[in-house]
Structure 1
Amino acid sequence: MVDDFQHDGHGHAAQNAAILLRVAQTMAKLGVAAFPRNYELFYEALSGRNPALTRDVAALGSYPVQSRIEEIGVKFHLSGFAPIATDVIRTEAARTISAVNQRLNNNIARTEGFAALLRQFIARLETDPVAGMSDFSADAGRMRDAVAAFEREERAFAVSMNETVAELGGIASDIEAMRKTSTRDATTGLANRVAFSARLAALYDDGSAAGPAALALVKVEGLRDLCESHGAAIAEKALKKLAPVFRKSVKKNDFVARIGADEFAFIFHDVSTDNAEAIAQRIRACVEAVQITLPNRTFTSKTLSLSAGIAMTPIASGSADLITQAELALHAVRVGGNRGVLVFSAAIGSRATKTYTRHVA
């Protein structure tokens, strides 16, 4: 997938166009259908970030069938192929469950047949006490053979059930991988906008705040300039350095998500206004301590900073109001080149103009 910086940065428009042109030219040369998910797959292949994916795409050759392209997209859990992956998982699950049902039915039938044979043998012993030794020997031989066959079938059934358990485990793994693809940012491994929207909505129960919490909308200052000056790869490297910093900066039950190219959202639970502001200031200091080494410049590095707008659940009427207040606080702290952390207040709300447009949500 084309990097977010290339989607929404003015300075990167030319580079974005060049990358898209290269992808389009490659797809046209190979006769690949111009589906959005195919663009995602070929961008990932041409980026070289996943050598295994690149090798699989290279092995497609000219004029590959779409089903083979989709197999690769599903295999590497690309987000554009998630609907196809869902259908594959559904089909595999139905097939596996049907097979289990058939095996169980067959096993029940075998067990019932063996039980019937055993009952017949017991009845013969009980009702015909004068049966000859040769007759008894013949019945015992048939019973011995039946027991041996039953044991073989039971062993085979146990093997098949173990294989089924493994298949179901694989399906569960695929479902989990697909879930992560749909709710995780590919670059940082943090939650994405989809997961953030769900978590934000959960802050309010029946229209009222479920508990004291704070939403901090954060913009990483300098990240876009870093991308435009040194390329998307350096910006991606910086993001991967920031991700663990953000994870370590919040409590276990708090939440952090990447919701834009250089924008993140934090949810702090059980905090006061002062607590939330102090946490945001601490995160800002941690970001400023991160050193980003520039390509071919071993002794040269760049630093970043952040601006944050904070809104508190007790004074917001709902999730939409909460995010609007955080946006206004973030906008206010960045006006005129200012940087830092600002908590929403009535004064900030009263200064909001009609020309203000949301840049986060």
Structure 2
Amino acid sequence: MNTSVAQKVQVPDIAAQVTYAMRVMGIAPIPRNYELFYEAYIGSNPKLTREIAALGNRASQEELDAIGRQYFGHHHRAEAIDGAHTKMVAQLEGLLHLLKQEQTSLESYNRILDETYSRISNKNTTSTEIIRSAIDVLSDATGDSISQGRNMVENVTQTSLEMAVVRRELDEYKRIAHTDSLTQLSNRRAFDDKLAAIYDNAMLLNVTALVLADIDHFKKINDTYGHPVGDKILASVGSIIRASLRKDIFIARTGGEEFAMIIEGNSQDEVMTIAERVRIALEHTPFKNSKTGVNYGPITISIGLCMAADAEAPAELYSKADIALYCAKNAGRNRTMAYEDGMKKEFSKSWLIYRK
């Protein structure tokens, strides 16, 4: 192992530290909790760090959510989704109730028709009585049905409008819940869903690839210039990746300085070309503060990729793409590598060698 790699092993990994702390404290591993502990760990907001520390070793979800609402405007979109879901359920129950009323009304009307038919069929009843009785009964029954039908139409129409509003709210909440607030790309939750769906269609596995990209030496950037600058660089990198790819390619920020792309409809050689286009675009982009003249660059990324056909399941696909990414880091960074079977021997996951 070379000296630079050995030094990297000693550097603590933020994600691992945060995950470990949450596990020790019995904190649910959900995105909004991870965000709180991540921000507390890096110390970008000392007040937040103190409040998390003050909770002790066993913080309740209610206590964490209260802090989340205080410090993160986007923090509780999941609660909003739950609220919209409740509204949708209530609207559906109301609609079902209306339909049940209509069913009861129709059943009643059919019963009246049956009774009227019986009277008409009665040979002991005079023609005049038959006609008078039929007219009276049918007039009342039909009038009631028409009135109830109008009310039903109005109620169903109103309910449909209300449900459409709730549906739009749900769609918006889902979009926000699946969007990384910093880069406006998809987030880890959306990525996990997309990754899991890859193996739903075996016919496309030969032309589907997972591409993982990691910013080189990002910890040094944060340590040198501070996390606010690091966040701006992350946002810029996300924009460059998005601008370098066609619109149908799925892109997510999957955590920290790592990004993922799911590319469909291309061979491995074509995916390599696409990934290289992203890497080169970033390498050639200046990162400079226009006001102070400070140059933060060069900013580069290392990329690893694996074709879906080379793995049996989403977890294996991710692991192999990650191995390729590790090999790209270990080979000198700022390069793209596709997974090959021989890489397993080179890779030992003492993971966090390349994470900084």
Same fold at TM > 0.5: yes
Task: Map 1:129-168 onto structure 2 (within 5 A).
Answer: 153-168=148-163
1:334 paired to 2:329? yes
For residues 14-47 of structure 1, the C-alpha deviation after alignment (integer angstroms, 9 at most, x for no partner) is 435443326788x9xxxx98522222221114xx
Residue 19 of structure 1 corresponds to 48
Residue 7 of structure 1 corresponds to 38
2:305–2:337 contact (8 Å) kept in structure 1: yes
Letter in 2 for 1:7: Y
Task: Please report how far the alpha carbon of residue 180 of structure 1 lies from its aligned counterpart in structure 2 after TM superposition.
Answer: 3.6
1:211 paired to 2:206? yes
CA distance in 1, matches of 2:201, 2:265: 19
1:349 paired to 2:332? no
Greater shift in the superposed pair: 272-281 or 350-359: 350-359
Please list every run of 5 or more consecutive structure 2 residues that lacks an aligned counterpart in the other structure.
1-31
CA distance in 2, matches of 1:5, 1:308: 29
Q: State the structure with bigger RCO (CA 8 A, min sep 6), 1 or 2.
A: 2
Say which of 259, 269, 275 aligns to 1:274.
269
Task: Please report how far the alpha carbon of residue 5 of structure 1 lies from its aligned counterpart in structure 2 after TM superposition.
Answer: 11
Please list every run of 5 or more consecutive structure 1 residues that lacks an aligned counterpart in the other structure.
54-72
Task: Map 1:1-361 onto structure 2 (within 5 A).
Answer: 7=38, 13-21=42-50, 35-45=63-73, 73=76, 77-78=77-78, 81=79, 85-86=81-82, 88=83, 91-110=86-105, 153-204=148-199, 210-221=205-216, 223-251=218-246, 253-290=248-285, 294=289, 297=291, 302-303=296-297, 304-316=299-311, 318-335=313-330, 338-353=333-348, 355-357=350-352
Task: Please report how far the alpha carbon of residue 266 of structure 1 lies from its aligned counterpart in structure 2 after TM superposition.
Answer: 1.7
- Tell me the percent identity: 20
2:306–2:321 contact (8 Å) kept in structure 1: yes
CA distance in 2, matches of 1:291, 1:4: 30
CA distance in 2, matches of 1:119, 1:317: 64
For residues 214-243 of structure 1, the C-alpha deviation after alignment (integer angstroms, 9 at most, x for no partner) is 322101236554544555444444444443
The change in CA–CA distance for 1:226 and 1:159 in structure 2 (over 3 A counts) is farther
CA distance in 1, matches of 2:155, 2:293: 60
CA distance in 1, matches of 2:350, 2:34: 29
The change in CA–CA distance for 1:42 and 1:142 in structure 2 (over 3 A counts) is same
CA distance in 2, matches of 1:190, 1:248: 12
Give 3-state SS (helix, strand or coil) of 1:297's partner.
coil
1:24–1:39 contact (8 Å) kept in structure 2: no
2:39–2:45 contact (8 Å) kept in structure 1: no
Give 3-state SS (helix, strand or coil) of 1:258's partner.
strand
Task: Please report how far the alpha carbon of residue 263 of structure 1 lies from its aligned counterpart in structure 2 after TM superposition.
Answer: 0.1
